[in-house]
Structure formats: C-alpha cells, structure tokens
A and B are shown apart, each in its own frame.
Chain A
Amino acid sequence: MDTLQKPKRRRFIRIASAGALAASAGGLPALLGSSVAHAQQVLGDDTFATLTKIARDIYPHDRVENDLYRKAVAPYGDAAKQDAALKTLLTEGVAAVDAAAKQKYRKRYVEVVDEKDRVAILKAMDKSPFFLKVRGDLVVSLYNQPAVWAKLGYQGPSAEFGGYIKRGFNDQTWMDSV
C-alpha cells in the first residue's frame, strides 16, 4: 500500500472544485427556473441586491442587463433555504462588504457610485471563503444563461438546426486578406 503525501495548505483555495462544478451543473435545470422573488424573500432584499451588485462587479458586461445578474444570484434562494451554513456565509459576507464600504466611503456597498471603488473592496477580500464561493458559483450561473450567450454572440445548441454545415461554419474570409 502506498500512502499520500500530505497536501499543502489548501483550505482557502477551493475555488471551483469538481464537486462545486458538478453541483452547479447538476442543479442547472432548477437554477434556470429559480425565482428572483423567492431568493429575495430567503436572503432579504438588501442582501440580494448587494449580491447582485457584486455579481456585476465580478463579471461586468455593460450590455448585459441587471435582470440577468439577478437570475445568476437567484439559485441562492433555494440553496440557502436548504443550507443554513451557506445562508450564514452569504449574509455575513455581504455584511463584511458593507462594513468595508462604510469604513472607506461611509456608504453601503450598493451606494458606492464608482465601480473602481467597489472593486477595491472586493479585491481586498478576494481570498475570503465568501468571495471564492460567490465567484465560483457565478462563473457558472451567469454564463450558463442562453440570454447571456446571445449577448456574447454564442449561438448555443446547433444539432436541432442541422449543425453549421449550411449555416456559416466557414463563412469568414477576412483572414485571407490580412
């Protein structure tokens, strides 16, 4: 039998483990149907609104409307209802973000006007379990929305349309004349 070398300190860098990826992915059908109203109710309006602002600051796309960021945060409604530890992580995380904003700018996070100032607050806590959890979940829940795909020019499923063989798989010619 062989034994394992003890892994080095890794407690705080569980960024997007297979488990998290799979859990996010496995929960996707429910995720897409998650209700914003339910999440607001479970997390409280202020916490939900702050999480939505944080979501935009982590993955800022000017052409993506707020509603899609709200939908990216919405799965936390069901998840936090079933998982008290997650609810605590989220509410305490938002409280910490607000505390930092108040100390630095005398305002709540959502009231800080300049994106750069808000990002500075997040940067200062980018190793915290709260930030890592939210970032790791959002990279799935934001970018897995077909409405976001459309904004970014990704056409999604193609087999049902006969693939791209007659729909432009080789339609670009600009590279030949660069």
Chain B
Amino acid sequence: MAAKFDLNKEVVVIIGSGAGGGTLGNELAQKGIDVVILEAGKRHEISDFANDEWPMFSKISWLDKRTTSGTWRVSRDFPNLPAWIVKAVGGSTVHWAGASLRLQAHEFKARTTYGAVKGANLLDWPITLQELEPYYARAEDKMGVTGTHGIPRLPGNNNYKVLAAGAKKVGYKSFHSGNMAINSQPRDGRASCQQIGFCFQGCKSGAKWSTLYTEIPKGEKTGRLEVRPDAQALKIEHDKSGRVTGVMYADSKGNRSLQKARVVCVAGNSIESPRLLLNSSSTMFPNGLANSSGQVGNNYMRHMTGSVYGIFEKPVHMFRGTTMAGIVMDEARFDTKRGFVGGYEMETLSLGVPFTAAFLDPGSWGREFSSAMDAYDSMAGMWLVGEDMPQENNRVTLHATEKDAFGLPIPNVAFSDHGNDVAMRNHAFKQGKAIYDAVGAKRTVFTPPYPSTHNLGTNRMSAKAKDGVVNKWGQTHDVKNLFVSDGSQFTTGGAENPTLTIVTLAIRQAEYIAKSMSERTL
C-alpha cells in the first residue's frame, strides 16, 4: 500500500518523480526510509497514453511559461519553450526514447582532457568512471538495458537499416541497435517491445522503462513512499542553523501546504531545480539556497544537437518501430583533429507527420518545405547528440518582472552556442549526410536543434565549494541536508544521453543518504 504521511512528519522530501527523483524515492523506500515525492504534474497511467503527437504533447509537456534569450535558434522559433520535457508523474522518463549509455572515462575529466577551452567553464567531475561502474551496472540491470547483462539487443527497424547500411559504407565500425532501456524480451513483469513507435508519447506496452510504472509502484509497495501529484514546490524552508526543514508547495487551485522534511532532494530537471533554489532565497541565503558559489543556474548545457533527414527513392517508413532504433558511436571519441573537443553520437530518430511538419525546419514554407513533407514515407532520420561546452553565461535566471500563477518569478533560459558546439554540429551534419548519401539519398535536410530534451549542469558537482553547487554525492556544499538528484548536477555533459547516468547517481546517492541517516550525520 502506498504510504500517506502527515505534513508534520519529518520525511525525506524529493521534488520531482523522473529518472532522478523516482529512482531515488524507490531506492530509499526499499531501505526502509519514509519518502514523500512532490510532483508538479498529474498522474497519468499507460491507459491515458495515445499514439497521437499533439494531444499527448499538450497532455504531458511542461508548458508553464518560460522565457528565453541568447542567440540559439530555439529562442527565435520557440521563445517560450526552451525545453521539451514532461510535467507528470514519471517526469521525462514518460517520453524519453530509452537510450542508455555510460559516459566515457575521459568525459569525467573534461578540464584535464580538453585543457583550457576559451570561453568555456570546464571542470573535472569529482568522481571517476571507475567509481561509478558498479552503480552503472545496477542501473542497467534495473532498467533492463539491451546489450548489457546478457540482454539481447532489439531488432533494427527500417530506419536503423538505412543508418547501418550507410555507416558501413562510410567505414564506421561501431554501430548497432543501441543500448536501450526497452525490453527486447519480457523482463521485470513488463512485456517486450511491439515496435509500436510513439516512444515520445508514452509507451503503450510498458516495454520502455519509466519510473511511472517501475520504480514508483515498487516504492509504493513498501509502504514507505508517497507520491503527491499536482504539488508544485514553491520554496524550501530552513531554520536558524541553516538546515532545511520542509518544502512549501501548492496544488493547481493554489492551496498551499508545508511538508516537514529531515532531508530535501531536488530533482525537478535543470530549469526548475535551480529556479526553486533561487526562489528559496532568504536573509540567511540572499542569493538563493546553496548558492554561495554563485553557480546556481549557471553552466546550463543542452547537448550539441541537430538532426539529419535523408530522402530516398524507396520507402523507409521511419515511424514504424522504436523511435531511437540504433546508434553510430564512432564519432563519440576524443579527437581534436576534427576541429573540436568532445564527441558526438548519431542515433536514429523518427517523428510522425505532425511533429515533422513543426520541427523539420521551423518557419519554412512553400514548395521547398512541402516537397520534403511529400517524401515523408521515404525519409530516414537521425539525431546528433554531443558534448556542449559549459559556459557561465548560459544560465537559468529568475525573470525580473514576469510571475507564475503562484506569484513567483518565472525562469529565463539564456543560451548561445560555443564555437566548439558550432564546429561539432557542422562536422556532425556533414557526417550524417555522408551516411545517407552513401545509400543513395536524393536529398538531405539539416534540422536545427529541437527545444532541449537534455537539460544539464545548472547545479553542478564540484570538488571545491567555490566551483559548483554540490559535492560528489549530490549534497549541496552549503546545506548538509539538501541534495540535488537530477541532471543539473552534471559537471559536464559528455556525448551520451544522460538518463542512465542520472539513474546511476540516484542509486549511489540513496546509499549515501541512507548511511548518513543511520549514522546520524544527517
């Protein structure tokens, strides 16, 4: 039975129920710790999902108003939608594609490996791949990642077959149908993938791992976990000693409640998490909670992204089967001969007609655009995702004048590409085109970055308190019983999709919190 805790009970309060918060909540509950997860969105179940892009977009996306600035094109085409993430129980694990890759050893040492990159605010992580490996293994097992732990890979769909044939001709060596948190065979009480497509709209078969129907019900079954949907965290409260004591939150009608807390873990993704810390400023913490470094909200990363769509003579039907159906990993290496530091992955991606029309080349029209749409059934697609440079001025700040429904400043997201990001994207576009040209593409289209799905770095991990917000456990440098448990703790982004690393860090953080609580140091 799911627990139901009194507001005055001092529990571990987790803000957010996605990859970080949902995993952490279950891990703590399994260890006998009482947890309340505050989730701003509603609780939809699999039966509420539809294979329909726009209706699902409006049902699950985080659409609260945000503003943007900087030179990124998202700010022009989607000025109030900097991020394409989910506001619902399960967070963005409801709509993620499932790619589950470990960061590479050198990516944890970005400053040491890449050296001083002008204009970049690079830093080494205070942890190594070696330290994380046992936790990565547990995360992969938990999520059922294909190609790990003896779990077979998924069969490649047509979109993958185009990618693989082209990659082979170009001379790439490291390509396959991916390491996916999608069941290739029944596992952990969930069915195997039916190649439905619509991974971004919520998996109808439950084959794709999401905290919504794995971690959260497992945690609830212990009687130690309560998930409160429709609970938007407004402010983290603290006492005179500087320890956090509870979280003020509101439902959509505006009713406010204060949940007392022994420990608070912030996992609201890289825009809401720093916003909550900044909105929790007080006389003791005038620049925001845990912000003595001034780094809360800074170093916002979104991965270098872009897409290439190839148009062929013969049909592809890219929409049939998993959205992210395969990967080319050869360019993920560190090799400055290409003209940039860091690397990138090339992963198949497909959108339905409604989203293709909206995102292929936002704002374009006329025959050039419609002729590409006319070729929709013979189109293959890939997404390019690589390491972008942390920059101090790419950041989440509080809007000077605009307020949300609760009277709190809305966030502004400022982003401009670093020169390294631009060089990497140009290289990736060229290589993506080469793959499709090698198998006879009639035409290729370069699609600019979508609103950010990978939001990282705004409460970053650092060895020294002056360089970042949290230590190697995700514990804030300034406040002992305040943690960050999402992608905002990433020191740098790496080339890989971040979810596996977020889950890995949450498993490790749960151990640390449980140990500290039993030793009474927390």
A residues apposed to B, CB below 8 Å? 1-5, 7-8, 10, 13-19, 21-22, 24-26, 28-29, 57-61, 63, 119, 135, 139-140, 142-144, 148-149, 152-160, 162-165, 167-172, 174-176, 178
8 A Cβ contacts from B349-388 to A: 352-354, 356-358, 362-363, 365-367, 369-370, 373-374, 376-378
- Which residues from A are CB-within-8-Å of B287? 1-2
Among candidates B54, B66, B367, residue contacting A60 with C-beta atoms closer than 8 Å? B367
- Which residues from A are CB-within-8-Å of B52? 156-157
A164 in contact with B320 (CB, 8 Å): yes
Closest to B76 in A: A13
- Which residues from A are CB-within-8-Å of B354? 140, 143-144
B residues apposed to A, CB below 8 Å? 50-52, 54-55, 57-58, 61, 63, 65-69, 75-81, 155-158, 161-162, 165-166, 169, 193-198, 204-205, 278, 281, 286-288, 297, 312-317, 319-321, 352-354, 356-358, 362-363, 365-367, 369-370, 373-374, 376-378, 397-401, 412, 414, 438-440, 451
Contact A172-B317, Cβ < 8 Å, known A16-B362, A139-B358, A159-B51: yes
Report the minimal beta-carbon distance from A30 to chain B, rounded to whole angstroms: 12
Besides A18-B81, A165-B195, A172-B317, 7 new A-B residue pairs in contact (Cβ under 8 A), listed by A number: A1-B398, A21-B78, A25-B58, A163-B321, A164-B157, A169-B195, A172-B314
B204 in contact with A159 (CB, 8 Å): yes
Among candidates A18, A22, A61, A168, residue contacting B374 with C-beta atoms closer than 8 Å? A61
Contact A18-B78, Cβ < 8 Å, known A157-B50, A176-B165: yes
* A7 to B312 CA separation, bound complex (whole angstroms): 41
- Which residues from A are CB-within-8-Å of B50? 157
Among candidates A28, A119, A175, residue contacting B161 with C-beta atoms closer than 8 Å? A175
Contact A163-B194, Cβ < 8 Å, known A21-B57, A158-B51: yes
- Which residues from B are CB-within-8-Å of A140? 54, 354, 357-358
- Which residues from A are CB-within-8-Å of B196? 158-159, 163-164
Contact A163-B54, Cβ < 8 Å, known A60-B370, A140-B358, A153-B317: no
- Which residues from B are CB-within-8-Å of A2? 278, 287, 297, 397-398
- Which residues from B are CB-within-8-Å of A59? 365, 369-370, 373
Report the minimal beta-carbon distance from A166 to chain B, rounded to whole angstroms: 9
B370 in contact with A61 (CB, 8 Å): yes
Contact A5-B367, Cβ < 8 Å, known A154-B319, A154-B353, A178-B165: no
B376 in contact with A153 (CB, 8 Å): yes
Contact A152-B377, Cβ < 8 Å, known A22-B63, A25-B54, A163-B195: yes
- Which residues from A are CB-within-8-Å of B362? 15-16
A25 in contact with B57 (CB, 8 Å): yes
Report the minimal beta-carbon distance from A159 to chain B, rounded to whole angstroms: 4
Report the minimal beta-carbon distance from A21 to chain B, rounded to whole angstroms: 7
Contact A4-B399, Cβ < 8 Å, known A143-B373, A152-B373, A178-B439: yes
Closest to B194 in A: A163
* A15 to B362 CA separation, bound complex (whole angstroms): 9
- Which residues from A are CB-within-8-Å of B288? 1
Q: Which 9 A-B pairs have the closest CB atoms?
A: A153-B377, A18-B81, A163-B194, A157-B51, A163-B196, A143-B357, A169-B321, A25-B54, A159-B204
- Which residues from B are CB-within-8-Å of A10? 75-76, 79
Closest to A119 in B: B366
Report the minimal beta-carbon distance from B490 to chain A, rounded to whole angstroms: 21
- Which residues from B are CB-within-8-Å of A174? 312-314
Among candidates B67, B198, B315, residue contacting A153 with C-beta atoms closer than 8 Å? B315
Among candidates A16, A142, A155, A170, residue contacting B319 with C-beta atoms closer than 8 Å? A155
- Which residues from A are CB-within-8-Å of B63? 18-19, 22
Among candidates A24, A26, A175, residue contacting B162 with C-beta atoms closer than 8 Å? A175
- Which residues from B are CB-within-8-Å of A16? 77-78, 358, 362-363
Closest to A162 in B: B194
* A5 to B204 CA separation, bound complex (whole angstroms): 43
* A144 to B352 CA separation, bound complex (whole angstroms): 10
B440 in contact with A178 (CB, 8 Å): yes
Closest to A132 in B: B363
* A148 to B370 CA separation, bound complex (whole angstroms): 12
- Which residues from B are CB-within-8-Å of A18? 63, 65-66, 78, 80-81, 451
Among candidates B69, B81, B195, residue contacting A21 with C-beta atoms closer than 8 Å? B81
Report the minimal beta-carbon distance from A97 to chain B, rounded to whole angstroms: 15
A21 in contact with B358 (CB, 8 Å): yes
* A109 to B161 CA separation, bound complex (whole angstroms): 47
* A156 to B319 CA separation, bound complex (whole angstroms): 9
- Which residues from A are CB-within-8-Å of B312? 174
Report the minimal beta-carbon distance from A75 to chain B, rounded to whole angstroms: 13
